[in-house]
A and B are shown apart, each in its own frame.
Chain A
Amino acid sequence: MSFFKFIDFHTHPFLSEDNNICKHIESANMSVSRTKEIYEKLGKTKICGSVLSKSLLDKPDTKWEDVQKLNDLALELEKTYNGFYIPGFHVHPKFIKESIAEIERLSKMGKKLIGELEPYRFSWGELNYASKEFYEILEAAEHYKMVVSFHTKIDDEVAQNQIDQMISRFKNLTFVGGHLGPNWIILRHLKRFSLNDNFLVDVSEQGLTRHGTLRRVIDVGGKERVLFGSNFPASHPGMWAGAVQLDQDITDDEKEYVFYKNAERILGVSLD
Chain B
Amino acid sequence: MKKYRIIDFHTHPFTNAYTNICVNQGECDMSKELSKSCLTQLGVEKICGSVISPSIRKHKPFLWEYTEELNNMALELREYYQGFYIPGFHVHPGFVKESIKEIERMDKLGVKIIGELVQYMSKWDGYNYASKELWEILEVAEHYGMIVDFHSGDNEEGMASMDEMVKRFPKLILVGAHIGGDSSLVHHVKRLESSENYYVDIAASGLGEYGRLRFLMDRFGKERFIYGSDFPTCNESMFVSSLMFDDLFSEEEKEYVYFKNAARLLNIKD
Give the interface of A toward B (CB within 8 A).
Answer: 1, 3, 22-29, 38, 41-42, 183, 205, 208-216, 219, 232-236, 238-249
**Contact of A210 with B212 at beta-carbon distance under 8 Å, contacts A27-B218, A248-B38 already known:** no
Residue of A1, A219, A236 near B1 (CB, 8 A) is A1
Contact B210 A22 (CB under 8 A): yes
Knowing A24-B215, A246-B241 are in contact, say whether A208-B235 is a contact too (CB < 8 A).
yes
Report the bound CA distance from A23 to B184 in whole Å. Answer: 14
| A248 touches which of B24, B208, B237, B242 (Cβ 8 Å) | B237
Q: For B15, list chain A residues within 8 Å (CB).
A: none
B233, A38: Cβ atoms closer than 8 Å = no
A-B contact pairs, 15 of them (CB 8 A): A1-B245, A24-B211, A27-B248, A28-B211, A208-B235, A210-B23, A211-B231, A234-B209, A235-B210, A236-B210, A238-B244, A238-B246, A239-B208, A239-B238, A245-B237
Further pairs besides A28-B211, A211-B234: 15, Cβ < 8 Å: A23-B182, A23-B212, A24-B214, A27-B214, A27-B248, A28-B248, A205-B208, A209-B208, A212-B27, A234-B209, A235-B208, A236-B208, A242-B240, A243-B241, A246-B241
Most chain B CB atoms below 10 A, which of A183, A210, A211: A211
Residues of B near A212 (CB, < 8 A) are 22-25, 27-28, 30, 235
CB contacts (< 8 Å) of B238 on chain A: these are: 208-209, 239-240, 242-243
Q: Pick the contact of A215 from B2, B24, B207, B209 — CB < 8 Å?
A: B24
Q: Which residues of B have CB within 8 Å of A216?
A: 24, 27-28
Q: Report if B236 contacts A (CB, 8 A).
A: yes
Contacts of B242 in A (CB 8 A): 236, 239, 242
Residues of B contacting A214 in the complex (Cβ-Cβ under 8 angstroms): 235
| Contact partners of A23 in chain B: CB under 8 A | 182, 209-212
Query: Digit string of B22-63 for contact with A (CB within 8 Å is 1, else 0)?
Result: 111101111000000010011000000000000000000000
Give the most central of B208, B214, B218, B236: most A CB within 10 Å: B208
B binding-site residues for A, Cβ under 8 Å: 1-2, 22-25, 27-30, 38, 41-42, 182, 204-205, 207-212, 214-215, 218, 231-238, 240-242, 244-248
Question: Which of B22, B27, B29, B233: most chain A CB closer than 10 A?
Answer: B27
Residue of A at shortest CB range from B21?
A211
In the complex, which residues of chain A have a beta carbon less than 8 angstroms from the beta carbon of B42? 246
- Cα(A246)–Cα(B3), bound, Å: 12
Q: Are A234 and B241 in contact (CB under 8 A)?
A: no
A58, B210: Cα distance in complex, Å? 23
Note all chain B residues with C-beta closer than 8 A to A245. 237, 241
A234 to B181: give the CA distance in the assembly, Å: 13
Closest 6 CB pairs of A and B: A242-B241, A238-B245, A212-B24, A24-B211, A28-B211, A243-B238
Chain A residues closer than 8 Å to B205, beta-carbon distance: 209
Q: Considering the chains assembled together, what is the distance between the CA atoms of A234 and B207 in angstroms? A: 11
Q: Give the interface centre of B218, B235, B241 by most chain A CB atoms within 10 Å.
A: B235
Question: Which B residues touch A233, using CB under 8 A?
Answer: 210
Residue on B nearest A22 in the bound complex, by CB: B210
Residues of A within 8 Å of B22, CB to CB, are 210-212
- Contacting pair A235 B24 (CB below 8 A): no
Taking the closest CB of chain B, its distance from the CB of A61, in whole angstroms, is 27
A259 to B: closest C-beta gap in Å: 14
A223 to chain B, nearest CB (A): 15
Distance from A42 Cβ to chain B, minimum over Cβ atoms (Å):
6
Q: Which residues of B contact A208 (CB under 8 A)?
A: 235, 238
Q: What's the nearest-Cβ distance from chain A to residue B43, in Å?
A: 10
B233 partner residues in chain A, CB cutoff 8 A: 210-211
Q: Determine the distance from Cα of A243 to Cα of B29 in the docked complex, in whole angstroms.
A: 17
Q: Please give, as numbers and ranges, the residues of chain B lying within 8 Å of A27 by CB-CB distance.
A: 211-212, 214-215, 218, 248
Closest to A236 in B: B210
* B47 CB to nearest A CB, Å: 14
Whether B212 pairs with A219 at a CB distance below 8 angstroms is no
A41: which B residues are within 8 A, CB to CB? 245, 247
When distances are taken between beta carbons in the complex, the residues of chain A under 8 Å from B27 are 212, 215-216, 219
- Does B28 contact A246, Cβ atoms closer than 8 Å? no
Chain B residue nearest to A244 in the complex (CB): B237
Specify which chain A residues have a CB less than 8 angstroms from the CB of B244 in the assembled complex. Answer: 238, 242
Across the interface, do A25 and B211 meet the contact criterion of CB distance under 8 Å? yes
Closest residue of chain A to B216 (Cβ to Cβ) is A27
CA distance A124 to B241 in the complex (A): 37
The smallest beta-carbon distance between A117 and chain B, in angstroms, is 22
* Distance A3 CA – B237 CA, assembled complex (angstroms): 15
Instruction: Known contacts A238-B241, A241-B241, A249-B29; decide if A22 and B235 are in contact (CB<8 Å).
Output: no
B215–A247 CB distance below 8 A: no
Please measure, in the bound complex, the distance between the C-alpha atom of A27 and the C-alpha atom of B241, giving whole angstroms: 19
Smallest CB-CB separation from B20: which chain A residue?
Answer: A211
Q: Is the CB of B247 within 8 A of A38?
A: yes
Distance, CA A8 to CA B23, complexed state (A): 26
Q: In the complex, what's the smallest C-beta–C-beta distance from B176 to chain A, in angstroms? A: 19
**Which residues from chain B contact A242 at a C-beta distance below 8 Å?**
237-238, 240-242, 244-245
